[in-house]
A and B are shown apart, each in its own frame.
Chain A
Amino acid sequence: MGENILGRLFRLSFPDCTREALSFLTSYISQDCPAIPGLNANTEQVIVEICQEFVLFQSNRGPPKKLSSVQELNLLDMICTCFNEAPEKSKYRIFNLMFGARCNGSGNLLTKLVSLALSTRCAPVLFCVAIWMQERDSLSTDVKSLTHRLVSDYCLLYPDPSSVFCKLPSVSPLFACNFITSATSYYSFGGADSLPPLSLLQHVSDWVSQDNTVCCESLRQATIHHAYTTPVPGLTGWCVRGPLVCSQLLGKAKAAASTAAINKAGAESMQVQVVSLLACLDKLHLALLQSLLFSACVNLSPGLLSAGDLAHITHTLTVVYPLQGNSHAESKEEETVAIGVALERLAQILQVASGTRTYISDRGKIKEMESIARHKLPHNRLLSMVLRQQLQGNSYSAPS
């Protein structure tokens, strides 16, 4: 019968074969993968083959079938419908069958599927993609390329904020959460080469400030899907390094503008963009603190942020921080202010996070931070105050 189904599907043409295949896969997976009568051993292989042949169109038997754009759209639509209609428990298993195992070439189809799911608000697909992102490392190539594609499609292509993106957290909070995590690792904000696009930063800061739960979504899934990452360390990195990186960029732009008059307009537009970035970071930082506060009053397992994350961020600061010897006095002054802001934000996030149950504390890491701050960074009263308190050991007392 397994042969029968394959044979039957081969006799059908697109799109009927795909529709049949999807429906077969759905019912097969929903019935907890029963043994297919008449098929002795390789049930799983047959299933995979059906998926390869009729959904992903990566034939093992002949040359891959090339679908036209319209056919491809039709295919994506059928996949979305399939996810909408499949039983809750089966959705991710179907997804995993299609995109999970290996990702040779199906990445392109996945990106297109995500785009369609975003615009049609197909929450099941986005949810599955979010879990998929979570199960892979956010730094993995597949996830990175997906993130990159989405950012360029929705943040860079059009200057106006995308309505699809604006409402993302309400369509799929988990997807938004994991997308942020991935975006913060793709654009680390560690220097001029890793600046997040302004519109991305705007979207992210809007999401986080409008909904303080977005950052916790992946942590919520931690009990079901063991592997998870959270956007908080990445966002903390943005908020902390952001001001310093921005001030350095400004300094450089000014220096460039004063030496080479040709680039004056470019310097000015850079200045405008940097000011906007900084304003977004102000907002994002507060939203991050509020998200941490929120996580203090919900019952989640620890892991939103760890002392290790913060120590790491402190370390990255020292990489960014060394002042350029040739800076103007004015730039120097600005950089001093910026490093102050950076350290204060670090201190604030540490302080607020340490009062939450989701924070993973580590006295060693705090000591490490303290040491870095003392030796490699300028003195900051707030950071000293917070670190002192952390080291005094009353960091575990939950706020009233």
Chain B
Amino acid sequence: MFDARLFLIGFLQALFVLLLAPFFAGLARVLRAKMHSRKGPPLFQYYYDIVKLMKRQEVRPAQATWVFRATPYMIMVSVLLIAALIPMWVLQSPFGVVGDMILVIYLFAMVRFFLAMSGFDSGSGFAQIGVARELALGVLVEPAIMLVLFIIALFAGSTNLGTMSQMIALGKVSYTSPAIWLGMAAFAVASFIETGKLPFDLAEAEQEVQEGPLTEYSGPGLALLKWGIFAKQVVVLSLFLAIFFPFGSAATLGLPGVLGAAVLFFLKLFCLYVIVAVIENSMARLTLFRAPHITWVALGIALLSFVFYLVQI
């Protein structure tokens, strides 16, 4: 059960997410500009930003403690671990022996937990508003994600992410079942909220609460934190793709197959980002208390998929 090649793939996936996260964030920004009929920044603008921020002096509020300084690293490492757990390129979870879907959900909780801690630690009112929103959204999103993944896991007979995507890819879990489609819809809404894209851009809302928990960060800390948040968006969407669109992922660990699958996965992510950008830019920000209505809808769809699972259609 200990396969060195799988572990290598896991590390490469983490590296893939790390290196491409600013690209995808930049892509979203360019697409947004195009839809506004603006020229927009260069595609690689975020790389320039990050490199520049890294060189800048860091300014911290005097009352902040080590929690504030450690958070960007905490977030980065937990996102990278999630990236290595998701079966992106092959039909197995690269770090399947390390954990399963429950671990992934709780690693997302870890990201949220430390981001919230740092927001509090900075002592800034804006950060704390953002934090309270972030956590309240978590309370609504995490159950929906858990329910959908739990149902898919019951179909697959395992909570291992690799097995789950394998069962769907091989058609063992029937792709024609309404349960899967509804589950997909619910998961799509939930992961959309999880990425913090526009109608749900409540916690790090730039125009409203000065980017919430990011308010007090500067220099290398800000660079890492932004990078971590971009990487988190990539990882959330990858999870969606890995579970519901595993087609084309390599079934064996041969080099050409994996490479092909990696390229294909990049294309899949690219398409998904375009779709997400279209949705994002055709919506206005919700007020916080409207968000629950949407998440109840997601939960409702998830429950409906659950009903279909029960009657085994």
Bind each other: no
- Residues of chain A touching chain B, judged by Cβ–Cβ distance below 8 Å, are none
